[in-house]
């Protein structure tokens, strides 16, 4: 059964494929499936637990009024150019954006049958108004907006011609489960494109944390007008985020082919590109 939203924000009942707190990592090979119990883990390169997930959603919702302004500052004005690179990597056809936020990327995605997914209703309301206004001005059909998570995508198998996620992958509850779902809904040979703040290694990551914790945080305090601003939490998700190689390996382990990554100017973001088998 195909999903039809009629350009409205819709919520779907989604049943997890496994208890979300029971497992931390699935290391899958042709011969073995190794399960590590999640004892004492809060947030790491693989995902997070319920308490951290709930707090993250609250902080992400609080970013909506100043989301684009602070992102431009944090990326030295490069974020629009980075989004443009991702747009050029997406084929025509049906495209899913996981974690669409307030619609900053989707607003300028032209010539695709677009579905935007996000777990935060307020993000979807903002994105729907913004994106569909832009699409109407271009004479395009409205995009569809769905409340949901990467780990439980409410779509048929082999449904999309491309899946992308921009600056939301590090916030996924369970990255491995989300990648498996992305592979499931992609048509064979279709691309998955991910972009995130770069972390080549521990030294590069340390510099990134310093940048976010002091430079970006100082600006966020001014813009938000409060000391306890939501970008503090986003710094935390970056500090626990894995390296480029971690997610190259994870993409391969979850069944993707032709996995590549590219550090983009000025060394502040990484794009991963992979194809469904």
Residue 233: per-residue pLDDT: 72
* DSSP annotation of 159: -
Please, what is the average pLDDT of the chain?
84
Residue 107: is its pLDDT beyond 90?
yes
pLDDT in tens, 205-253: 898 888 888 888 888 888 877 777 766 777 888 889 999 999 999 999 9
pLDDT digits (tens, 9 = 90+) for 44-75: 788 888 888 888 888 888 888 888 998 898 89
First vs last Cα of the chain: how many Å apart? 22
Provide the angle, in degrees to the nearest 10, between the axes of the packed helices 231-239 and 202-210: 170
148-185 confidence digits (pLDDT tens): 999 999 999 999 999 999 999 999 999 999 999 999 99
Q: Look up the pTM and report it.
A: 0.82
Burial string for 8-39 (b: 16+ CB within 10 Å, else e) reads ebbeeeeeeeeebeebbbbeeeeeeeeeeebe
Amino acid 212: pLDDT: 86
Domains of the chain (ranges; CATH) run: 9-37+44-199+242-275 (3.40.50.150)
Give the DSSP H/E element, type plus range, for residue 34. Answer: strand 33-37
The whole-angstrom separation of Cα 52 and Cα 228 is 17
The mean pLDDT of 111-132, rounded to a whole number, is 98
pLDDT of residue 269: 96
pLDDT at 29: 32
What separation in angstroms does the CA of 210 have from each of 39, 105, 205, 238, 245?
A: 29, 26, 9, 11, 21
Q: How far apart are CA 272 and CA 85, in angstroms?
A: 12
């Amino acid at each position: 059964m195909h999903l039809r939203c009629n350009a409205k924000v819709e919520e779907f009942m989604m049943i997890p494929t496994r208890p979300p707190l029971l497992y931390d990592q699935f290391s899958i090979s042709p011969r073995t499936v190794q399960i590590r119990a999640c004892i004492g883990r809060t947030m790491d390169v693989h995902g997070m637990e319920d308490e951290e997930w709930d707090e993250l959603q609250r902080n992400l919702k609080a970013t909506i009024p100043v989301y684009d302004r602070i992102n431009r500052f944090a990326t030295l004005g490069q974020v629009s150019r980075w989004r443009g690179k991702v747009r050029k990597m997406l084929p025509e056809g049906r495209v899913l954006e996981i974690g669409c936020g307030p619609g900053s990327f989707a607003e300028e995605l032209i010539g695709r049958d677009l579905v935007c997914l996000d777990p935060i209703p307020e993000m979807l309301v903002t994105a729907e108004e913004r994106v569909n206004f832009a699409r109407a001005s271009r004479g395009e059909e409205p995009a569809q907006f769905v409340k949901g998570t990467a780990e439980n995508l409410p779509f048929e198998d082999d449904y999309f011609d491309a899946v992308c996620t921009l600056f939301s992958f590090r916030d996924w509850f369970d990255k491995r489960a989300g990648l498996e779902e992305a592979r499931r809904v992609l048509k064979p040979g279709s691309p998955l494109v991910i972009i995130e703040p770069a972390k080549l290694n521990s030294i590069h990551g340390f510099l990134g944390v310093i940048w976010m914790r002091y430079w970006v945080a100082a600006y966020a305090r001014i813009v938000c007008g409060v000391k306890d601003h939501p970008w503090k939490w986003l710094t935390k998700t970056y500090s626990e985020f894995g390296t480029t190689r971690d997610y190259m390996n994870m993409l391969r382990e979850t069944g993707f082919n032709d996995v590549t990554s590219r550090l983009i100017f000025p060394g502040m973001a990484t794009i991963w590109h992979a194809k469904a088998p």
